[in-house]
Structure 1
Amino acid sequence: MLSNSVIQTIKETAPVLAEQGLKITDLFYQKLFLNHPELQNIFNMANQAQGEQSRALAESVFMYASKIDELQELTPMVKRIANKHASLSIQPEHYPIVGKYLLEAIEEHLELPKSHPILDAWRIAYNALADIFIATEEDIYLENEQKIQGWRGFKPFKIDQITTESKGIKSFYLKAEDGRHASFEAGQYVGVRVKPEKSDYEEIRQYSLSNAPGEDFYRITVKQEGHGSEFPGTVSNHLHKAKVSDTVWLQPPTGDFTIQSPDSSHITFIAGGVGLTPLLSMLLQQLKTMDANKITFIQCCRDSEHHLMKKAITNLQQRYGFHYYVAYEVESGADHQGYLTKEVLQKWLPDNTQPDVYFCGSKPFMSAVNKMCSEIGISEQQRHYEIFGPTTTLS
């Protein structure tokens, strides 16, 4: 339990963190990697180069400071971050290292003496938060380990099959070398570890599982990010060069973007680009138990060439009869040409119902969809989404 004086001091620093947080977190990562270069095997160094990780950490630190007297409001954020940490195999011994250099960054940037009350308060508050994450992550590790055919940590998988799904996107069918595949919930993801060529470090990325639960393989569907650009995706480009029988290392499936109300009166899925992957897994799961007439699936693509898994989803629609709509951004031939709008979404949603809506795609896409859903009266409790990348909010 944090004392009132610690809480008051932390809350008083919130405005400073709102203004200076990014500079503090930039300095923190410089210190961290200078003194512990081995941690580059865990952190996404592409996000470091683009500043995304620093922005995400600054957001999280500010939220903690501003809500430190209402920690229950941070539970969703803690769960989401803890699941990401579990996919990276973050361990308790990592937290004192992070705390040391975060406090040093605060001290140095704000030009505080080592005995300043702000540093004392943040040391106590950081340790309290670290304890929450350590306990939450251990629960995730233990749950995954105790599942039938479950495990803890990374273990080797062979690429069993590779299929091209659309321009720049491939699916990889992965089978465990020991033949053991733990169950998962549709919408979850796996941490995938590889050692790219010309890289000094191993790299870990999270990829949603795009197949239905209960099969004897895992499928990830990967977009080749930034091919030929200034920031090519290190892992996605490595995987797109991979061959059948190559080895990758996986953490057990994790994540909290799952179906929240299986008995919902209607479920609508809205996919933008490769954000289709967790939603396709959810669709496959729901079609086993739910009346297909109570399911709407909306897919937004750049054009027909980028229409991900077109044949597979069309075949599913013809077999089961769920409502399926497609929007092409720059091409005719779909149900709508152009960006998805509030008016089009209203037309495609079922009449006289308040559906549970699950959506995934780029952050701008999801921010737009979230705003549309809010404007047409879908409550926050009925809107569910997954953010790819380090950030935790759509704001």
Structure 2
Amino acid sequence: MLSESSIRIIQSTVPVLQIHGTSITKRFYERLFERHPDLLNLFNQANQEQGSQQAALANAVYEAAKHIDRLDTILPVVRSVAHKHRSLGVLPEHYPLVGQNLIAAIKDVLGEAATDEILQAWTEAYGVIADTFIGVESEMYGAAKERHGGWQGYRAFAVARKVRESDVIASFYLAPRDGGDLPRFEPGQYLSLKAEIPGEAHTHIRQYSLSDAPGKAYYRISVKREDSAPGRPAGLVSNYLHEQIEEGSVVWISAPAGDFALDRADARPVVLLSGGVGITPLASMLNVLSESDPHRQVTFIHAARNGDSHALKEAVEELVRNHSNIAAFWCYSNPTDRDRASNAFHAEGYIDLSWLQSIVPDRNASYYYCGPLPFMRTVSRLLRKWEIPAADMHYEFFGPAARLSDAE
């Protein structure tokens, strides 16, 4: 437990963190990688280059400081991050290294304003927070290993099938090389794939949502090839998978993880909203609902640029034909002439509230959404405007967590 004096000191630094948080986390990662370059094998360097990881950590530190006297209120965030840590292979011995460099970064950025009293309070607070993470992650490591078919660390899988789903997305059907069983996962979860790419100095790990229902002899991931764009380099791992990994290739993955999961105990209608490759975890949810809950009303809404980039469309439409409780709607921002000629979509442009209200039959539902950050922010804004309770809004970030509204 933190002392009352340390709690007061930490809370007094909240305004400073709001201003200097990103500078502190940027300096933290510089120090960490300078002193422990082996940790580059754990971190997504693309997120580092784009600044999204620094921003996510700054927000996490800020929230921890703001709620330092009620850390239980941020336990859901702790569990979400702990899932990712377990998936990546973060271990207890990593936490002292992080702590030392975080405290040093605070001192580097704040200079004389970082008094010995402040640094001591933050050292004490970090110890409490680190112990919380280590405890939660220890339970997760044990659960992943002990469940039927489970394992710890990374396991070799062979690519049994590779299927092109759109002009930018391919599905990989992964079967364990050892022929063993696979643990069931919750629809919405992801796995970590460790890539050792020729010519690259470090291992690269990426998380990919499982895009099929559990209970199969394989895991399926559907990966978008990330091309370069202004301010964003081409996706190193996604291009490696698309261009160099074929049927028969071997990849290494960790056991499924993540807390973005379908609540199967909730009997109310479900609304699944996806944008781009964000369709992957929601496709898993839809497959499970079609197999195990055929009476639950499901509205599936997907936004894509056009039919050429729309992955898994035929599979979803087949479920619609075979299940009267499932309805699906497509919104294309830039439909092709072929899309228009075949009436392949239901709305043109971007999802708005009036269209959403016209196709969702029952507002009293659970809403799950995933996609690019602008899409996520739009959906969050629309649902809040519709006065959907926050408890009914469930979402997953592809990459470091970010703010969905100024109110967060």
TMscore range, shorter length = over 0.9
Cα-to-partner distance string for 1:105-149 (whole Å, 9 max, x where unaligned): 111111149971000000000011000001111111111111101
Q: Which residue of 2 aligns with 1:103?
A: 103
Tell me, yes or no, if the aligned pair for 2:270 and 2:296 is still in contact at 8 Å: no
Q: Deviations over 1:273-328 (max 9, x none)?
A: 10000000011111122235611111111111111111111111111131111111
**CA apart distance, 1:227:** 4.5
Question: Structure 2 matches for 1:203-218, cutoff 5 A?
Answer: 203-218=204-219
Aligned twin of 1:262: 265
| Structure 2: runs of 5 or more not aligned | none
Match of 1:328 in 2: 332
Q: 1:127 — aligned with what?
A: 127
**Corresponding residue of 1:247:** 250
Residue of structure 1 aligned with 2:350, choices 327, 335, 339: 339
1:241-298 per-residue CA deviation (whole Å, 9 max, x = no partner) reads 1111111111100101011253322011011110000000011111122235611111
1:167-196 superposed Cα distances (whole Å, 9 cap, x missing partner): 111001111111231111110000110112
- Cα 1:267–1:113, aligned 2, differ >3 Å: closer, same or farther? closer
Q: 1:390 aligns with which of 371, 387, 400?
A: 400
Question: Matches of residues 171-320 of structure 1 in structure 2 within 5 Å?
Answer: 171-180=171-180, 181-227=182-228, 231-241=233-243, 242-292=245-295, 294-320=297-323
Normalising by the residue count of structure 1, what TM-score does the alignment of the two structures yield?
0.97
Q: How far did residue 329 of structure 1 move? A: 0.9
Amino acid at match of 2:74: L
Query: What SS is found at the alignment partner of 1:28?
Result: helix
2-structure distance, mates of 1:385, 1:262 = 18
Q: Does 1:355 align with 2:365?
A: yes
- Seen in structure 2, the aligned counterparts of structure 1 residues 370 and 114 have a Cα distance that, compared at 3 Å, is closer
Q: CA deviation at 1:377?
A: 2.3
Q: Distance in 1 between matches of 2:200 and 2:111?
A: 36
CA distance in 1 between counterparts of 2:114 and 2:351 reads 53
Task: Report the TM-score when normalising by structure 2.
Answer: 0.94
Closer, same or farther in 2 for the Cα pair 1:291/1:125, shift >3 Å? same
Cα distance change on mapping 1:293 and 1:96 into 2, 3 Å: closer
The structural deviation recorded for 1:71 is: 1.2
Give CA-to-partner distance per residue, 1:210-247, whole Å, 9 cap, x none. 01110010000000012477501111111111111111
Q: How large is the RMSD of aligned CA atoms in angstroms?
A: 1.5
Q: 1:167 and 2:177 equivalent?
A: no
Distance 1:261 1:120 in 2: 46
**Residues 148 and 182 of structure 1 are in contact (CA less than 8 Å); yes or no, is this contact kept in structure 2?**
yes
Farther-moved stretch of structure 1 (313-322 vs 212-221):
313-322
Aligned ranges for residues 17-56 of structure 1 at < 5 Å? 17-56=17-56
How many residue pairs were aligned?
Answer: 394
Structural mapping, 1:70-109, within 5 Å: 70-109=70-109
Q: Quick one: percent identity of the two aligned structures? A: 39
Q: Distance in 2 between matches of 1:119 and 1:293?
A: 54
Paired residue for 2:376?
Answer: 366
Q: Identify if the C-alpha distance between structure 1 residues 235 and 245 changes in structure 2 by more than 3 Å, giving closer, same or farther.
A: same
2:51 and 2:323 map into 1 onto residues whose CA distance is 44
